Chain A
Amino acid sequence: MKYETTRFGMVEFRDDTIITFPEGIIGFEDFSRFVILGNHDQSMFSWLQSIEDPSLAFVIISPYEFKSDYSLTLEDKDLEKLESPESSQIVVYSIVVVPDDPKNMTANLQAPLVINAEKKIGRQIISTNPRHCLRHNILEELNKSKEKKVQE
């Protein structure tokens, strides 16, 4: 399928890579179909591009990429809504906010996007873990992990 986007122009993707968020993303409930764009080998970041609104796209990152001790407990109701994926089929992303100085960019760990990779169903869940904050500084976290490695 081809889709004309505001940011990237015409993009082409296989139909079976389309991810459906049945309830949308919080604040964007009217849009449910997205594709992930970007080269994961070269970049920690990808784009979650809507294929219903050409201008709607989010920068996303896997929290495991920058926070080595990240873990997420999914509640039964979330698993049910994702059609009970095997744990190996669960993919987690955080939405990234990039302020004027990109060094201060933050990832939203409180409301991660959880995807059933097999069935291509996604859902933005709200984590009840108090350590998962709304604005987690990515660079600070990366530097912290580096320091830890040096100490080891």
Chain B
Amino acid sequence: MLVLTRKKNQSIMIDDNIEIIVVDVKSDQVKIGIKAPKKVSVHRKEVYEEIQMENKKAATQNHFDLDELNKIFKK
């Protein structure tokens, strides 16, 4: 992993179109600004990890069949 030291208001370029800016630093919190093309997705990593875990949970369920579910959720 590449580790760079930056001060407030300094930034990092990734390729020629993504800029990560250190907007503010307060004790143990860093405020970061991201300038990127619209097609680039930016998410907090926790959000992404939670979805990943939820998908894995959904993919490993083997204890029921749809008929059983349909009895509970009558259409």
Point out residues on A near B: beta carbons under 8 Å.
Answer: 7, 25-28, 38, 42-45, 47, 56-59, 75-77, 80-81, 95-98, 100, 102-103, 105, 108, 110-111, 124, 126, 134-135, 138-139, 142
Point out residues on B near A: beta carbons under 8 Å.
Answer: 38-41, 43, 47-48, 50-59, 61-64, 66, 68-70, 72-73, 75
B51 and A77 contact, CB distance less than 8 A: no
B72 and A103 contact, CB distance less than 8 A: yes
A110 and B72 contact, CB distance less than 8 A: no
Residues of A within 8 A of B50 (CB): 134
B-side binding surface: helix, strand, loop or mixed? helix
Choice from B38, B52, B57, B69 contacting A97 with Cβ under 8 Å: B57
Alpha-carbon gap, A57 to B55, bound state (A): 10
B32 to chain A, nearest CB (A): 17
Most A CB within 10 A of own CB, among B43, B50, B55, B58? B58
Contact of A28 with B72 at beta-carbon distance under 8 Å, contacts A126-B47, A126-B51 already known: no
B56 to chain A, nearest CB (A): 5
Residue of A nearest to B40 (CB): A77
Residues of A within 8 A of B68 (CB): 102
Contact of A26 with B69 at beta-carbon distance under 8 Å, contacts A57-B59, A97-B58 already known: no
Most A CB within 10 A of own CB, among B47, B50, B54, B63? B54
